[in-house]
Amino acid sequence: MLAVFLKELRSYFTSAIGYIFMGTFLLITGIFFTMYNLLSASPAYNNTLQSLITIFLFIIPILTMKIISEETKTRTDQLLFTSPLKIRDIILGKYFAAVAIFTISLLITVLYPLILSMFGVVSASEIFTGYIGMFLLGATLISIGLFVSSLTENQVTSAVLSFGVLLFIFLIDSIQQALPSTRTSSIIFALIIVAIFALVVYFSTKNIYAAVITAVVGIIITIGIYIAKKEAFDGLIQKVFDWFSLIKRYNLFSQGVLSLNSVVYYLSFIVAFVFLTIRMVDKRRWS
Amino acid sequence: MENVTKRYGDQVAVDGLNLTVKKGEILGFLGPNGAGKSTAMNILTGYISATDGNVRIDGIDILENPEAAKKKIGYLPEIPPLYLDMTVEEYLKFVHRIKKVKSDGIEASMTRIMSLVKILDVRGRLIKNLSKGYKQRVGLAQALVGDPEVLVLDEPTVGLDPKQIIEIRNLIQKIGKTCTIILSSHILSEVSAICHRVIIINKGKIVASGTPKELAKKANNSNIVLLRVKGAKPDVYKKIREIQDVKLVQEQGVNEPGTVDLLVEAKDDLDIRETLFVSLSKAGFIILMMKSKEIDLEEIFLDVTTNNKGGGM
């Protein structure tokens, strides 16, 4: 894993990607810091951090676009997958390298609150929590980018797709407010999810019976829950969307609240997407 | 390999391949494009998995214990898996690391491999600036890392110039003294020059196998002689037809003024060269050239892959 990690880390700096990522990140952080903290003489550094999230939307896809797709395209994956390394180690090595680049950039920005502390009182614990939240959010978004990169062998497709997914995650809070919260709409929503699930089963197994069984079981469960507990369907859409609202969770950190709940939430997101990536890469070798 | 099958949807790429390679053998895979050579090699090296069947390297199943089995294999795919942004040295060092070579042995092993494939002079250069021949050699170097017992080479000489082809071939023969090599090619002269045993596959199935000589012999079951005789065509033709053991005479046109070229086939696998010489010279015809026509691998290959009749060979 270490060999892959070091190789990836190096490749960020032998290509332009590492420089573009760090350069953009640091430039915009600097601009925000100057505007929000220096010019307006405000010690509220967490607000600056929070506004950085918008940049993630644009630079995380750059960081992750070639992470797996490039290997597939140049066939260097043949070297990796015929070597005595586990796929898990290869993917983890790549993931940690991207996270390392992100972490290095983030650590450089620690200079800013230090500068602020020279002129007044800043809450160290609050900023520390803000940074932890920032790190977790970034690492989660990178894991999503990693997964998207494993879906395609074209870097541009990978970048655009990651951008789309991240944009959706950013807008999820605004979208859910516009969605209906009645019971009927929730049931329709549940059935759509069952249908999508059945389709996924069909396309991955090519077995119509398995898909039908999945659909039937899904419908039975939905009806069962409806009979047993009608109020579970109130605002179901909102609840589901809420689970995926990565940004909302970040706001807690930004306020200086370090809750274990949120840390576990982000970590489980990361584990899930890294795991999905490993499965995806593995599956391609089986199909 | 036992009964290895690979399906892509309804498409069968490799169909029930059974194959055993002995230690120290150089085995050639021969087949037209799309015959399933690369797929078979990808399965063999554990890059992709077979839909059916088992692959065992030195008794280790590649699915049950991939790490141990892959340690025994060096693989050079059709497109060498090179990181273009690295120098040759950095690249080989990385390969050593992922192949889990002990770190204190890396330096020595790198120098040994680089001098073996003659890339010491480009060790500090970026791979993307190397010529095709050098890239291929770096690819070969990569496969040699970790002293694999089995070397799998997918079309190792494709796209190289004749001098480089000969160099790579010599190299393969040299390496072949210490380990088992499986190589694929669609160039016949190459396979017959290096390999101890040749397997011809078409449409995912083995259609012929044996040593290059055996294959040539099997196909060469009739004795055919090519003649160039001084004299008028009808006279020569008539004279040859009179010889008892001749089964068939075919004209081959006139390549030299005043002579005639003929292809003579003997009955029952007889050697008719002496008879031809004696009877023709008795009749006053002068033989300018006589050679027995060997059917080479090229023809076996075409025969086997186009008609697909050669299943019994």
Tens digit of each residue's pLDDT (9 = 90 or more) over B197-221? 888 887 777 877 888 777 766 655 5
For residue B67, the chain A residues in CB contact (below 8 A) are 84-86
Among the listed ranges A20-24, A48-52, A274-278, B205-209, which one has the minimum average pLDDT value?
B205-209
Do B225 and B152 share a structural domain? no
Residue among A3, A76, A82 whose CB faces B46 most closely? A82
Domain end, chosen from B160, B183, B218, is at B218
For the segment A50-54, the average pLDDT, to the nearest whole number, is 86
Contact, B41 vs B154, CB < 8 A?
A: yes
The pLDDT score that the predictor gives to residue B219 is 56
First to last CA, chain B: 20
- Interchain proximity B71–A80, CB inside 8 Å: no
Instruction: State the DSSP H helix or E strand holding residue B57, giving kind and residue range, or none if neither.
Output: strand B56-57
Residue A264 has pLDDT above 90, yes or no: yes
User: What pLDDT was estimated at residue B312?
Assistant: 38
| B146 in the same domain as B74 | yes
Q: Which domain holds residue B193?
A: 2-218
* Domain identity same for B133 and B272: no
Predicted local distance difference test score (pLDDT) of residue B306 = 67
Write out the residue range of the structural domain in which residue A45 sits: 2-179+246-286
- The model's confidence at residue B32, banded by pLDDT at 50, 70 and 90, is confident
pLDDT category of residue B311 using cuts at 50, 70 and 90? very low
Instruction: Identify the pLDDT of residue B216.
Output: 64
Kindly state whether residues B159 and B27 are assigned to the same domain. Answer: yes
Q: Is B308 among the domain residues? A: no
CATH for B243: 3.30.70.1340
B148 and B262 share one domain: no
- State mean pLDDT over A94-98: 94
**Domain C-terminal end among B174, B189, B218:** B218
Please give the residue of chain B at the shortest CA–CA distance from A6.
Answer: B94
Quote the CA–CA distance of B16 and B224 in Å, as a whole number. 37
Residue from the list A3, A10, A75 with its beta carbon closest to the beta carbon of B81: A75
Q: Is residue B156 part of a domain?
A: yes
* Statement to judge: residues B139 and B230 lie in one domain: no
Q: Please indicate whether, in this complex, the C-beta atoms of B81 and A77 are within 8 angstroms of each other.
A: yes
Query: Are residues A196 and A281 both part of a single domain?
Result: no
- Regarding whether B50 and B16 lie in a shared domain, the answer is yes
Sort out which chain A residues have CB atoms less than 8 A from B41's CB and list them: none
The answer to whether residue A241 sits within a structural domain is no
The total of structural domains in chain A comes to 2
Mean pLDDT of chain B: 80
> Does A156 lie in the same domain as A170?
yes
Tell me how far apart the alpha carbons of residues A26 and B122 are, in angstroms, rounded to a whole number.
38
pLDDT for A179: 80
Share of chain B above pLDDT 70, in %: 86
Please tell me whether residues B110 and B56 are part of one structural domain.
Answer: yes
Which tens digits make up the pLDDT trace of B257-276?
888 888 887 776 667 778 88
pLDDT (tens digit per residue) in B34-43: 777 888 888 8
CB contact under 8 A, A15 and B142: no
The yes-or-no verdict on residue B10 having pLDDT over 90 is no
Domain assignment present for residue A240? The answer is no
Domain match, B161 and B21 both = yes
Confidence at residue B188, expressed as pLDDT on a 0 to 100 scale: 72
Q: Looking at the structure, do residues A223 and A127 belong to the same domain, yes or no?
A: no
Same domain for B159 and B44: yes
Give how many domains chain B has, as a whole number: 2
Residues B287 and B207 in one domain: no
Residue B241 and residue B135 share a domain: no
Strand partners, A78: none
B68–chain A Cβ distance below 8 A for any pair:
yes
pLDDT tier, A95 (very low <50, low <70, confident <90, very high otherwise): very high
pLDDT at A101 over 90: yes
Residue at A148 is within a domain: yes
- The interface predicted TM-score of the complex, written ipTM, equals 0.80
Q: What was the pLDDT predicted at B313?
A: 37
Whether residues A174 and A188 fall in one domain: no
Task: Please write the tens of the pLDDT for every residue from A199-228.
Answer: 888 877 777 888 888 889 988 888 888 888
- Considering the domain architecture, whether residues A7 and A36 belong to the same structural domain is answered as yes
The mean per-residue pLDDT over the stretch A230-251 comes to: 80
A28 plus A160 within the same structural domain = yes
Is the pLDDT score of B296 beyond 70? Answer: no
Of the given ranges (A76-80, A130-134, B279-283), which has the lowest mean pLDDT?
B279-283
A contacts of B40 (beta carbons < 8 Å):
none
pLDDT surpassing 60 at residue B3: no
**What is the 3 state secondary structure string of B174-235?**
HHHCCCEEEEEECCHHHHHHHCCEEEEEECCEEEEEECHHHHHHHHCCCCEEEEEEECCHHH
Same domain membership, residue A28 and residue A119: yes
CATH code, B124? 3.40.50.300
